C-alpha cells in the first residue's frame, strides 16, 4: 500500500542541543520557516543536552516522519546516535535524510556571512569548525572548505575550535576573515570572536539558503516515496 499523495509526512528537524539559549532559538526559527515552505507540520527534537529528545518528539507526531539532521557534517550523532534513538521508539515510519552540510546552499550562506563581516575578494579566509574525532565528519568539513575556497578564489584548509587539528587559535592571522562553520551562535562563536583577526563572520543561522536546503532534503524524501510499502 502506497502513501497517499494528499498526505504529507511531518518533518522533524533534529539538532544537537545546547544550553546556550541562542541555539534552540535558531532551530525553532528554522523550523518555523521550513513549515511555510513544505506545507507540512514541522517539529524539533534534540539528540543531546536538552529536550525534547528525538523519542519524545516522535511520541507526539502521528503518521510518517521525515527527520532532517540539522548538522553540518555526518559525524557520530548523524550516523549512529540518531538512528539508534529512532530505533528505540520501535517506529518503522521514520526516514532520515542527509545532514545539512556540506551542500551548495551552506556555501552560499557562508559566503554571504563573510561579506556581511566586511570580507572582499582577495582577502584571506579561514574556515573554522567545531571539530570532531570522527574522520568522516572531518572529511565533510574539508569538503565544505574546498567548496567555499572555490567561491572565494583561494585554497582553504579548515581549522578547528576544539578536538581536531589544526586549532584555529594557532593558525589565525591578523589579516584573515574567519568563516565559522557553525549553525548557531554560542560558546564556540564567542571563542572565535576573541581571536586577533580582521573579522569574524556570523554563524550560518537562519539564512534563507538553509531554509531552502531543509525544504529540499524533505521534499526529495517525499518525492522519492520512501514510505511506500
Give residue 161's pLDDT. 97
Rounded mean pLDDT of 105-125? 98
Query: Is it the case that residue 229 has pLDDT exceeding 90?
Result: no
Q: Is 43 helix (H, G, I), strand (E, B) or coil?
A: strand
Q: Is 216 helix (H, G, I), strand (E, B) or coil?
A: helix
Which residue ranges make up each domain of the chain? 10-101+207-223, 104-200
Rounded mean pLDDT of 95-107? 97
Question: CA 159, CA 162: separation in Å to the nearest integer?
Answer: 9
Give residue 2's pLDDT. 43
Query: Is it the case that residue 88 has pLDDT exceeding 50?
Result: yes
Rounded mean pLDDT of 204-214? 98
Query: Is it the case that residue 225 has pLDDT exceeding 90?
Result: no
Q: Which range among 91-100, 183-192, 199-208, 218-227 shows the weakest confidence by mean pLDDT?
A: 218-227
CB 12 within 8 A of CB 44: yes
- What architecture (CATH level 2) is domain 10-101+207-223? 3-Layer(aba) Sandwich (3.40)
Rounded mean pLDDT of 21-45? 96
Q: Decide the pairing of beta strands 65-69 and 10-15.
A: parallel
> Is 31 or 50 the better-scoring residue by pLDDT?
31
Query: Is it the case that residue 226 has pLDDT exceeding 80?
Result: no
Rounded mean pLDDT of 77-86? 94
Query: Is it the case that residue 228 has pLDDT exceeding 80?
Result: no
Give residue 4's pLDDT. 44
Give residue 184's pLDDT. 95
Q: Which residue has the cell 567545531?
A: 130
Query: Is it the case that residue 227 has pLDDT exceeding 90?
Result: no
Rounded mean pLDDT of 164-188? 96
Q: Do domains 10-101+207-223 and 104-200 have the same CATH topology?
A: yes
Cis bond leading into 52, ω under 30°?
yes
Q: Which range among 4-13, 108-117, 130-139, 154-163 shows the weakest confidence by mean pLDDT?
A: 4-13
Question: CA 154, CA 86: separation in Å to the nearest integer?
Answer: 41
Give residue 224's pLDDT. 84
Average pLDDT, the chain: 94
In CATH, the number for domain 104-200 is 3.40.50.1400
95: left (phi over 0), alpha (psi -120 to 50) or beta: beta
Amino acid at each position: 500500500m502506497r502513501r497517499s499523495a494528499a498526505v504529507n509526512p511531518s518533518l522533524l528537524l533534529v539538532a544537537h542541543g545546547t544550553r546556550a539559549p541562542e541555539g534552540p532559538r535558531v532551530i525553532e526559527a528554522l523550523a518555523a520557516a521550513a513549515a511555510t515552505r513544505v506545507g507540512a507540520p514541522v517539529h524539533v527534537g534534540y539528540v543531546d543536552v536538552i529536550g525534547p529528545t528525538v523519542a519524545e518528539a516522535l511520541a507526539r507526531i502521528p503518521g510518517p516522519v521525515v527527520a532532517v539532521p540539522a548538522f553540518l557534517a555526518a559525524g557520530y550523532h548523524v550516523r549512529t546516535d540518531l538512528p539508534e534513538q529512532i530505533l528505540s521508539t520501535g517506529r518503522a515510519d521514520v526516514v532520515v535524510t542527509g545532514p545539512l552540510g556540506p551542500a551548495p546552499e551552506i556555501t552560499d550562506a557562508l559566503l554571504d556571512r563573510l561579506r556581511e563581516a566586511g570580507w572582499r575578494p582577495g582577502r584571506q579566509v579561514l574556515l573554522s569548525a567545531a571539530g570532531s574525532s570522527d574522520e568522516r565528519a572531518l572529511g565533510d568539513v574539508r569538503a565544505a572548505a574546498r567548496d567555499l575556497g572555490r567561491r572565494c578564489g583561494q585554497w582553504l584548509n579548515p581549522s578547528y575550535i576544539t578536538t581536531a587539528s589544526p586549532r584555529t587559535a594557532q593558525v589565525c592571522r591578523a589579516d584573515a576573515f574567519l568563516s565559522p562553520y557553525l549553525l548557531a551562535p554560542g560558546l564556540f562563536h564567542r571563542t572565535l570572536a576573541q581571536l586577533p583577526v580582521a573579522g569574524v563572520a556570523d554563524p550560518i543561522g537562519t539564512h534563507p539558503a538553509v531554509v531552502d536546503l531543509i525544504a529540499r532534503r524533505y521534499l526529495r524524501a517525499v518525492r522519492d516515496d520512501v514510505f511506500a510499502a
